[in-house]
Structure 1
Amino acid sequence: MAPLPSDSELSPWRVILRFKNADPETATAVIVFRAFLMVLDMLTFSDDSFVINGQEIIVDLKGVPYAYVAQVPPTFLKKVINLAIHSYPSRIKSVYYVSVPAFIQAILNILLSLLPEKLKSRVHMFSEKETVNLHKFVPRSILPEEYGGDAGPFNELSSNSKA
């Protein structure tokens, strides 16, 4: 996980979540979700701009192990969605899924049907070939080099992170 640099005081809080090199045996899907929710808790109470300006989340699914899909039953996903929508005093402005494998795109399409229309319109999916389209939504100046941006390598952003 790496928070992206802010391009203005009013810009939403932006983060990239990556599953590259993820090991579902040591970091199960439940542990990954739990860690993300702990970061949300921390930011909700410590950073006013997180709540006021909203969030944009980029989820890079390149190389995500299929074993994660088997670990997450649909009922669990529905609970996580409800928790994110109804339990946090923040506003999700956009979610961008990049490098989406076909098997996950089918699952995401089903999950989208569970979302309210307003939130559904804020979710964008890009296959690996379409990842360049992310620049239409997120400024190139704040994206890591791996995404065609100018903000430096992902690992450097991640290691400089407070989260």
Structure 2
Amino acid sequence: MPALPGVIDAKELAQIAKTELNEDPNRTKEDIKAIQSWIKKQPHLHKYINTDDQHILMFLRGCKFSLERTKEKLDVYNACRAACPEWFDNWDAMDPIVQEFIDLGVAVPLKGYDKNGRRVMVMRGSAIDPRRHNISDQMKFSMMISEMLMHEADQSSITGFVGVQDMEGMTLGHATQFSPSLGKKAMTIWQDAYPQRPKGMHFLNMPSLMEAIFGMMKSFSKEKMRDRLIVHPKGDLTMLHEAVGTEILPKEFGGTNGVLQDHIDELRRKMEKHQKWFLEQGKFKSNEKKRPGKSKNHSNLFGMEGSFRQLSFD
């Protein structure tokens, strides 16, 4: 089996973690225990959320080992899980819709890492049929994959993550499934809840009718993230090759890392392997009835439904 591209050896990875994330191996266990001790004192989190060492370490890394930021992000993450059952409950890798989305290549993590050691995921929104597929199912599928990748706790928890959104073939039917409230919810979870370190989101082949969607998502982004949302000229992969290298990309994107189907097959294998893990995830969420003070519900996490005007398309 050929070696995966972009793999960083343990010694170099530890040095990156120390330099970029303030990770001190002599203090890591103590920091994990400090967060676990804090969770035990939170009635809405204790006995309700995942407190495994590796899970806590993932959040510490995502917050550069700031204990206060880690507490805040863990709290928001689990509140979002409670507030969005349509995205976070009933995860089943063998569900026919999930299996269909795998086959279609709706979201495909690429095997290996890019030239900077980061994980890369290709997303193809046009692969779904807007007449048959619900966007909530698509978002749930993306969340399942994202959390599976985080659960693996591989080098991307240190080096970061890059998204490639290929918008070729997206139609008005795809566009009208989006709404500002959905965009706000997705960006809140991505930026404020997940411990992933997003290093860039590359948009390829963007149709003019999707520009309003892009503008909406950008308006919900923090300044640092806005700088990492990159729209590429249609049909031009030059900037993508410069950003991630060709060794990580499949042939369809001008790379040398097999063909996209190879990565789809690997995704199916991984998701089926994680089936038991997926089924267990629905139980992990905050119990907002037990939160001291004001609860974190859907409206104060994401804004009231209907408070945004619907997007209009010419």
Deviation at 1:22, TM superposition (A): 1.8
Deviation at 1:16, TM superposition (A): 0.7
Q: 1:43 to 1:7 in 2, by over 3 A?
A: closer
> How many angstroms apart in 2 are the aligned matches of 1:9 and 1:97?
19
1:24 maps to 2:162: no
> How many angstroms apart in 2 are the aligned matches of 1:36 and 1:5?
17
Q: 1:78 to 1:61 in 2, by over 3 A?
A: same
Q: 1:8 to 1:28 in 2, by over 3 A?
A: closer
More strand by share: 1
Equivalent residues in 2 for 1:116-155 (5 A)?
A: 116-155=222-261
Which of 120, 123, 143 in structure 2 is aligned with 1:37? Answer: 143
Deviates more, 1:26-35 or 1:123-132: 123-132
Secondary structure, aligned partner of 2:247 = helix
Which of 136, 149, 153 in structure 2 is aligned with 1:47? Answer: 153
Larger Rg: 2
What is the match of residue 208 of structure 2?
102
Contact kept in structure 1, 2:237 and 2:254, CA below 8 Å:
no
Deviation at 1:8, TM superposition (A): 7.1
Deviations 1:26-78 (A, max 9, x none): 32211111110111222222324232221101111111232122122111111
- Stretches of structure 1 lacking an aligned partner (at least 5 in a row): none
What is the match of residue 63 of structure 1?
169
Deviates more, 1:57-66 or 1:2-11: 2-11
What is the match of residue 109 of structure 2?
3
Q: 1:153 to 1:67 in 2, by over 3 A?
A: same
The count of aligned residue pairs is: 163
2:198 is matched by which residue type in structure 1? I
Deviation at 1:138, TM superposition (A): 1.4
Contact kept in structure 1, 2:164 and 2:204, CA below 8 Å:
yes
Secondary structure, aligned partner of 1:137 = helix
More helix by share: 2
Q: TM-score under structure 2 normalisation?
A: 0.48
After TM superposition, the runs of 4+ consecutive aligned structure 1 residues lying more than 3 A away are 7-10
> How many angstroms apart in 2 are the aligned matches of 1:8 and 1:18?
19
Contact kept in structure 2, 1:22 and 1:64, CA below 8 Å:
no
> How many angstroms apart in 2 are the aligned matches of 1:136 and 1:100?
19
1:148 is matched by which residue type in structure 2? G
Contact kept in structure 1, 2:202 and 2:230, CA below 8 Å:
yes
Contact kept in structure 1, 2:113 and 2:120, CA below 8 Å:
no
Deviations 1:74-113 (A, max 9, x none): 1111111001111111210111111111111232023212
Secondary structure, aligned partner of 1:71 = coil
Deviation at 1:7, TM superposition (A): 4.3
Secondary structure, aligned partner of 1:14 = strand
Contact kept in structure 2, 1:132 and 1:148, CA below 8 Å:
no
Q: 1:77 to 1:148 in 2, by over 3 A?
A: same
> How many angstroms apart in 2 are the aligned matches of 1:44 and 1:5?
15
> How many angstroms apart in 2 are the aligned matches of 1:5 and 1:58?
14
